[in-house]
Amino acid sequence: MTTSAVIPRIGEPQPAEASSTEHGPTPPAQLRRRELAIFLPSRRERLSPTQVGLPPGGRRRTPGLRREEVAQLANIGITWYTWLEQGRDISVSESVLDAIARTLLLDHHERSHLYVLSGASLPSLELESAAVTSGMRTMLEKLEPFPACIQNARYDLLAFNRTYGQLVTDLTAVAAEDRNSLWLAFTHPAWRDALLDWEDSLAYMVAQYRAAMAEHLDDSTWKCLVKRLRNASPEFVALWERHEVKGASKNPESRIKRFLHADFGVMRFYYTPLWVGPQPGTRFITYTPTDGESLRRVKQLHESLC
């Protein structure tokens, strides 16, 4: 089957053939597409069907996943994905690249490489994570034993100290793309059990997310999280459909969060966000014990990590 016999999905532009140059150096964009045509098959061929939830499918002539399987799992057209693997001169949206990265189980570095080779801008999460300086990480460490993290307006956890990383569950064992407070609270059983004020906290967070998203309506990263949560949690759908909005609290210390740790019991904290950029945006969040018993228990948690 030739590509001229295949019709792309509605809204997908017809790609231009990669141009060849008989004289002079090869354009950088063409070099990136050639590298992409090598990189994508190499990532696809290293995966077995069972790794991505597919049946073994019997004997295969070539190792790894087939192109059509990647396209199906990423919910994109097979023709579109084939053109991408062939290094065609096509424009690919961030949402498509994100779907491919998830399907191929790319790590942080491979995902960034995919974006660069595709000629796309790195996702805002990548840029925000890179903006967490060594000084900020030192501050997180110095706040031990108090839990602390750096979080953006989308509730992505960009960095955290050891105590925060073990306050509910082992965050280092959670996939990087799932280290998001909204996602964890709605989908991770341990987080749901640990947040003693789950219903009130989640209603507040969803209302804040909706308010902040008004400034990012053209950002696919924000829309992607909403879509994932809608598919994963009926509770999120119910709260999202309320269309409630809330801004940042004028008196952050008036908010108290209670956590139930599996080994050390209930801990109560003042929740204090310190803005490191324009508000609302990335914030440095500290959890200060509200009472002596919470202080004793969080110290025990910290000592268990040393």
Q: What is the CATH number of the domain that holds 83?
A: 1.10.260.40
- Determine which helix (DSSP H) or strand (DSSP E) holds 142, and give its type and residue range: helix 134-142
204 and 155 belong to one structural domain: yes
Measured in residues, the chain has a length of 306
Give the number of other CB atoms < 10 A from CB of residue 71.
21
Residue-wise pLDDT tens for the chain (306 aa)? 334 334 344 334 444 444 444 556 678 888 888 999 999 999 999 998 888 888 876 677 777 899 999 999 999 999 989 999 998 888 888 788 888 988 998 876 687 788 878 877 655 555 566 668 888 889 999 999 999 999 988 898 989 999 999 999 999 998 877 899 999 999 999 999 999 999 999 999 999 999 988 887 777 778 878 988 998 999 999 999 999 998 765 555 558 899 999 999 999 999 888 877 655 668 889 999 999 999 999 999 999 998
34 and 85 belong to one structural domain: yes
Q: How far is CA 238 from CA 35, 117, 186, 229, in A?
A: 45, 39, 12, 11
CA–chain centroid gap for 75, Å, is: 18
Residue 199's CATH number:
3.30.450.180
263 and 294 belong to one structural domain: yes
Give the pLDDT score at 252.
52
CA–CA dist 16, 27 (Å, integer): 15
92 and 155 belong to one structural domain: no
Domain that holds residue 46: 3-122
Number of domains in the chain: 2
196 and 91 belong to one structural domain: no
67 and 150 belong to one structural domain: no
Name the DSSP class of 49: G
- Residue 181's nearest CA partner among 201, 199, 166 is 201
For residue 132 the two structure tokens come to: 């967490």
Classified as helix, coil or strand, 40 is: helix
138 and 117 belong to one structural domain: no
Give the pLDDT score at 209.
93
Residue 26 — φ and ψ, nearest 5°? Answer: -70, 135
234 and 90 belong to one structural domain: no
85 and 202 belong to one structural domain: no
84 and 221 belong to one structural domain: no
Give the pLDDT score at 16.
45
92 and 29 belong to one structural domain: yes
